[in-house]
Amino acid sequence: MSEQPIEVQDNAGVVRLTVNRPKALNALNSDVIAALAATLDELEARNDLRAVLITGAGEKAFVAGADITEMRDKSAPQARDFAGQALATLKRLEALPVPVVALVNGFCLGGGCELALACDWAVASDNAVFGQPEVLLGVIPGFGGTQRLPRRVGPAMALDLVTTGRKIDANEALRIGLVNRVMPQAELEDYAAELTKQLGGNGPQAVRGAKQAVHDGMDQDLDSALALETSLFALCFAGEEQREGMSAFVEKRKPNF
């Protein structure tokens, strides 16, 4: 692994990002956040992007939080700037037009949990530990946790986690809907490979349309959201993917997207 704070690997448009500070359990400092923002500059400019997978370097942590050493001496305005940079960067990650999936391979705490929450979904290895322990440090979550966590797991469970700071294991994270799947750590790479194949093989415009429909629709009333779905569904028929996908079905062959 190189010394870049964010390691980037491209597999035919499915891009894997690795937060690469294993000695600090991949804690998010200003350098990591700036590197993620710079990576997003490149990803946002790509028309061939199909999906993004994000994980942490090493076998112990996804991301163990924002960097406590860096935050310790910050003033309130400096803390506001730090959170602002991180929030804006996570918003850009979330807004990528393709699926963004967190591969949670260990500690997923504080800013790490907030990074996972900015992804479309998350899968976890069975050694993963989740939590928003900020109150134990005398602060509250600052990278979106108080807002995205209740939207993912409901307000009561979010309040439980953000006010007690308790940590939960991967199975509890699965039960409350924080992650979609749990698997032995040794199987996480197989899952990543399978996902790379699946997301890389589906119709790219259809995948983008499906993400857009869910994301944009969630902010609208049901009637408007259903109308949005109809528009995006119809738009599929204006491109070549629909003809190829449906022809492949009729001709009993695999589609070539």
Integer angstrom CA distances of residue 221 from 58, 211, 216, 224: 43, 17, 10, 6
| Part of the chain binding ligand CAA (CB under 6 A), chosen from 6-14, 91-99, 110-118, 180-188 | 110-118
Neighbours of 41 (CB within 10 A): 9
| Part of the chain binding ligand CAA (CB under 6 A), chosen from 40-48, 129-137, 201-209, 223-231 | 129-137
Closer Cβ to ligand CAA, 2 or 69, answer by number: 69
| Part of the chain binding ligand CAA (CB under 6 A), chosen from 97-105, 109-117, 183-191, 230-238 | 109-117
Closer Cβ to ligand CAA, 137 or 248, answer by number: 137
In angstroms, what is the minimal distance from the CB of 24 to ligand CAA?
4
Closer Cβ to ligand CAA, 19 or 25, answer by number: 25
Per CB under 6 A, 141 contacts ligand CAA? yes
Residues in contact with ligand CAA, shown as a per-residue x/- string from 17 to 56 under the rule CB under 6 A? -------xx-x-----------------------------
In angstroms, what is the minimal distance from the CB of 67 to ligand CAA?
4
Please select the residue that binds ligand CAA; options are 8, 37, 87, 137, rule is CB under 6 A.
137
Per CB under 6 A, 111 contacts ligand CAA? yes
- Packing angle between helix 204-218 and helix 222-236, nearest 10 degrees? 170
Question: Is residue 51 within 8 Å of 98, Cβ to Cβ?
Answer: yes
Please list the active-site residues.
114, 134
Closest CA to 56 of 161, 208, 185: 185
Kindly determine how many residues on this chain lie close enough to bind ligand CAA according to the rule CB under 6 A: 21
In angstroms, what is the minimal distance from the CB of 150 to ligand CAA?
15
Per CB under 6 A, 204 contacts ligand CAA? no
108 exposed, middle or buried (CB, 10 Å; 0-12, 13-18, 19+)?
buried
Closer Cβ to ligand CAA, 131 or 203, answer by number: 131
Closer Cβ to ligand CAA, 24 or 37, answer by number: 24
77 exposed, middle or buried (CB, 10 Å; 0-12, 13-18, 19+)?
exposed
Contact residues toward ligand CAA (CB under 6 A) are 24-25, 27, 64-69, 107, 109-111, 114, 133-134, 137, 141-143, 145
